[in-house]
Amino acid sequence: MKLKLKIWKQKNQTAEGKFHDYNVEADEHMSFLEMLDVLNEGLLENQQEPVAFDHDCREGICGTCSLVINGRPHGPMQGTTACQLHMRHFKDGDTITIEPWRANAFPIVKDLVTDRSAFDRIIQSGGFVSVNTGQAMDGNAIPIEKDVAGEAFEAATCIGCGACVAACPNGSAMLFTSAKINHLDLLPQGKVESSKRVVKMVEKMDEEGFGNCSNVGACHVECPKEIKLENIARMNRKYFAAKLSAK
């Protein structure tokens, strides 16, 4: 299949960026990132600068492949990361627009690569359980209700990709932050530091320049792991309870 690509090129955060046009020939069995590899190989063969884009696992696990494809974070397929998106979902002759995540809190490093270390700093502020190191505990030593374990597991599937932020008109990170809070908070081991954690992580999120949730819901729609909006409501309740009990 022959495709036209309109790709955002930008040297760094302060430089002016613009769309560049490229032609590429791809196979319908290729992944979207393999199609970009083919493009870059061709550019390198012709001594042209390749397009910078982020990727790592290429299995939908690491959350690195941050591409806005035809206006949608991770592209047109529901519940699918850009690396798991296949070219069979496009047609011969299509024009595809590819942009980086656009959010104040994610500055552009180069072309399609953004700096998402703000997410790491939110996790560092409280997204952990403090335990004494030593021998690993038996997995079944603390009984946990199946529903609760299931809900915690669902929240834990967040891969920290940032598509929720890119999809939100407010650049809010509340879906990500709430998933990272709740997957710990729902379990007995995480409850010990619950109040401290929610306050620290929410305040870090605000400090990093992310916007507030105004119930648009685009984060959930574009999230490749379909993280539920209920996580945000639960985080808000926890946050207010923690702030009130601290007074």
Note the residues at the interface with ligand FES (CB under 6 A).
55-58, 60-65, 81, 83, 159
Nearest to 156 by CA among 200, 189, 131: 189
Taking CB under 6 A as the binding criterion, the range among 11-19, 91-99, 156-164, 234-242 that sits at the site for ligand SF4 is 156-164
**Helical segments of the chain, H only:** 32-45, 117-126, 146-156, 163-167, 174-185, 188-191, 194-207, 218-222, 230-246
Residue 7 interacting entry, from ligand FES, ligand SF4, none, C-beta within 5 to 8 Å by type? none
Residue 179 interacting entry, from ligand FES, ligand SF4, none, C-beta within 5 to 8 Å by type? ligand SF4
As given in the structure block, the two tokens for residue 136 are: 């690993």
Q: Is 228 in the site for ligand SF4 (CB under 6 A)?
A: no
List the one residue from 26, 36, 227, 232 that touches ligand SF4 (CB under 6 A): 227
**Which residue lies nearer to ligand FES by CB, 5 or 83?**
83
List the one residue from 105, 112, 174, 175 that touches ligand SF4 (CB under 6 A): 175
CA dihedral 186, 191, 195, 197 (to 10 degrees): -80
Residue 64 interacting entry, from ligand SF4, ligand FES, none, C-beta within 5 to 8 Å by type? ligand FES
Beta strand 2-9 with 72-73 is unpaired
Residue 74 interacting entry, from ligand SF4, ligand FES, none, C-beta within 5 to 8 Å by type? none
Q: Is 75 in the site for ligand SF4 (CB under 6 A)?
A: no
Residue 190 interacting entry, from ligand SF4, ligand FES, none, C-beta within 5 to 8 Å by type? none
**Which residue lies nearer to ligand SF4 by CB, 100 or 160?**
160
- Give CA–CA dist 98/111, Å, rounded: 10
What residues have CB less than 8 Å from 96, skipping those under 6 apart? Answer: 3, 4, 5, 6, 69, 70, 90
| Cβ(99)–Cβ(18) below 8 Å | no
- Give CA–CA dist 85/87, Å, rounded: 7
Q: Is 100 in the site for ligand SF4 (CB under 6 A)?
A: no
Q: Is 160 in the site for ligand SF4 (CB under 6 A)?
A: yes
Residue 211 interacting entry, from ligand FES, ligand SF4, none, C-beta within 5 to 8 Å by type? none
Radius of gyration of the chain (CA): 20
As given in the structure block, the two tokens for residue 246 are: 């601290």
Residues within the interface to ligand SF4 (CB under 6 A): 63, 158-164, 175-176, 179, 223-225, 227
